[in-house]
Structure 1
Amino acid sequence: MEGLGKMDRRSFILGMAALGTTLSGCSSDPSAFRVRLLKNSIPSQLPNEFRRQLKQDIKLDFKPANQLQDLFNDLQAWKQKPSRNQTSSPGLPFISQSSEPIPDLITMGDYWLSTAIRQNLIQPLDPKAWQLWAQLPDRWKKIVTRDNQVWGAPYRWGATVIAYRTDIFRDRNLQPPQDWADLWREDLRGRIALLDQPRETIGLTLKKLGQSYNTADLNKIPNLEPELVALNRQARAYSSSTALQSLILDDVWVAVTWSTDFLQAVNRNPTIAAIFPKSGSALFTDLWVRPAPVSSKAPIADWINFCWQPDIAPQLSLISQAASPMLSTLDANTFPEKLRQNPLLVPQPEVLARSEFLEPIPDATIEQYRSLWAKIRGSA
């Protein structure tokens, strides 16, 4: 399903309270617990708090990357590299024992999971070692389980949302958007930025029609093509990287974007707001996965459990601007007010229930998406 999902979730404004730099300079210590993660995806104070809770004295090496794509590229490169306990390969003289060891855990988006498994880039994890696995909601268990093996531990999630300019809607006395159907409103024609992603844009149209994002046969939805033609007329631009920026710069009034991008930008751009569509949306989740070549006694299970703890999950959600999957299992009345009142991090249960992860789809369906996308984008 390459080319059809979320290839890039960029932040225009980076939070200062999330981990954005290397925690410790201990890359030469073979016993260190090494984690490579998406920049700003965990609060900067959490690794030190984790170290305080451990019963053993261990050095931590947490290093961020700017993009999920960078981390996936690293996984592919590490597949060709000896693990930290191996010597350099005679067939690969450019790899030396002094090169940086492969980490114990790495962040990966759920979009890449099937590809990573197929290419043998990651290894299964053992959920029996996770005390809180039983509390993880079933839909997050399902997204990381293949053939009765668990390949990742979800620690944060986000959704596709509709952002809009509050000042423009107020000054023109326009009704703010509430659901996907509002993108077809005549008063918004030519004022909308859409994601340049077939599964996102065709998917939201399916949702508007009361269908699933994971519809297996697009040809069985007779109204889909005319609805997409109408939506294409509404759009001023398609972009997976600058839709939100176009909104901030007054190029459009409405932008379909990802909640993580929006929440990073809103603090410095108070004229923008966003809604979680009432009919449900597309979900994505970031996972802890274990690179295939790694074999170590690092406290992997301890770290995963730590991220899911009831007192840690709200902190992670509020500061990293992406919700922990454990939030829905906790009493929202115990959350900080800023978190409790954020509908993108704590959406209404019924809205979240109507939302879906973008699941792997058959090759025949991928071809339907590509053909329909090319036809719609090529139409006037």
Structure 2
Amino acid sequence: MKKILTFFIAVILIFSLTACGEKKAVLNVYNAGDYIDPQVLKDFEKEFGIKINYEEYGSNEEMLAKVQAGGTAYDVIVASDYMIQAMIRQGLLEEIDMNSFENYKNIGSEFKNLAHDPENKYSVPYFWGTMGIIYDPAKVDEKIDSWSALWNPKYKGQIIMLDSPRDTIGVALKKLGYSFNTRDLEKLEEAKKELIKQRALVKAYAVDAIKQIMLSKEAAIALAWSGDGIAVTRENPNLKYIIPKEGTNLWFDCFAVPTTTKQKENAKLFINYMMRPDVAAKCSNYVGYSTANKEGMKLLPKDLRENESAYPKGNIFEKGEIFEDLGDFTTEYDRIWTEIKSY
């Protein structure tokens, strides 16, 4: 009996050790909400045998706070240009050798050597776009061509603003004729007053919910990123997306590897996978945002590939101003945002 018992214990131990030895690697990916085709994550897991632990955040600032806290060992993040710049300055990102990526050649040259990562050492471009206004002509009976439309009392309770401090404060600054990147406190206070004045007109501050709100006709007008504008107009051609005459924000979202990673090589494997033309096209078509992958763009449906809101003709850098890392002055924007939201 003892021999039989000993035999079964040995077998159990062997199976336990084997199971431990075959335990899948887990990659922690942190991305903005509704910003990837879920199928490409499943395909990656199946192809490489690596499990994806996928989390979403609401804003760049939320993502930064979580990475700084260090509670989760994130391996791959998606962040906007100015946040990439801030995280480089704070020593939060790993350097990446772009020559080690087979698919880096698929990224358009216009998206390389940008101000947030001039030597292409830390980030790989994913999506890019503008910021503008989505509106419903059934509820808006006038030509919309200015940021001031978001302050029109006629649309009280029908206005949606982005729940993102740099974007919403930036729009108030641009409405006043100032730079998105001002470090002038007086100008910032003017923008705060504009947004407090607008507060009573606003139905909600949102991010991921904006598309559904506009498609379900719950609002008349919304501040939005171009990808959401493209997505809603593809689904309902009666809706409109415009870039106001005062100017827009030109933005670039990128993949990066934070210093919290415990598996840099697997993180690079995932980023290289995301640069495959077919994968880039699937994500762009699913999300509606403009891809930085020139080969992936060729695989997009014609209606998206030829959409001038998604892919404006001419020099894209003449379309708007790029957010910069404001360094320590960011605390002033955070203070202003808290005051606006608590008003």
Q: TM > 0.5 between the two?
A: yes
Structure 1 residues 153-181: Cα deviation after superposition (integer angstroms, max 9, x where no partner): 22123443311123223xxxx23423435
CA contact (8 A) 2:171 2:180 kept: yes
Change (3 A) 1:61 1:109: farther
Alignment of 1:246-285 (within 5 A): 247=214, 252-261=219-228, 272-277=239-244, 279-285=246-252
2:146 aligned with 1:152, yes or no? Answer: no
Structure 1 residues 274-315: Cα deviation after superposition (integer angstroms, max 9, x where no partner): 234455422444432223243547354454344334554333
Aligned residue for 1:34? 27
- Counterparts of 1:33 and 1:275, CA distance in 2: 42
- Counterparts of 1:44 and 1:199, CA distance in 2: 28
- Counterparts of 1:208 and 1:76, CA distance in 2: 33
CA contact (8 A) 2:247 2:321 kept: yes
Change (3 A) 1:281 1:308: farther
Aligned residue for 1:21? none
CA contact (8 A) 1:40 1:320 kept: yes
CA contact (8 A) 2:227 2:290 kept: no
Q: Structure 1: 5+ residue runs without aligned partners?
A: 1-25, 82-101
Alignment of 1:304-323 (within 5 A): 304-323=271-290
CA contact (8 A) 1:216 1:362 kept: no
Change (3 A) 1:216 1:295: same
CA contact (8 A) 1:127 1:133 kept: no
Change (3 A) 1:261 1:368: closer
- Counterparts of 2:268 and 2:173, CA distance in 1: 39
Aligned residue for 1:355? 320
2:304 aligned with 1:339, yes or no? Answer: yes
CA contact (8 A) 1:144 1:152 kept: no
* Aligned-residue identity in percent: 24
Compute the displacement of 1:208 (Å). 3.9
- Counterparts of 1:248 and 1:105, CA distance in 2: 32
Change (3 A) 1:205 1:67: closer
Size of the aligned set, in residue pairs, is 320
CA contact (8 A) 1:163 1:262 kept: yes
Give 1 or 2 for the bigger CA radius of gyration: 2
Aligned residue for 1:11? none
Q: Which amino acid aligns with 1:156?
A: F
Aligned residue for 1:61? 51
Secondary structure at the aligned position of 2:290 is classed as coil
Q: Which amino acid aligns with 2:138?
A: D
Q: Structure 2: 5+ residue runs without aligned partners?
A: 1-18
- TM-score under structure 1 normalisation? 0.62
Structure having the larger proportion of residues in helix: 2
Q: CA RMSD in A?
A: 4.7
Compute the displacement of 1:322 (Å). 2.0
Aligned residue for 1:105? 76
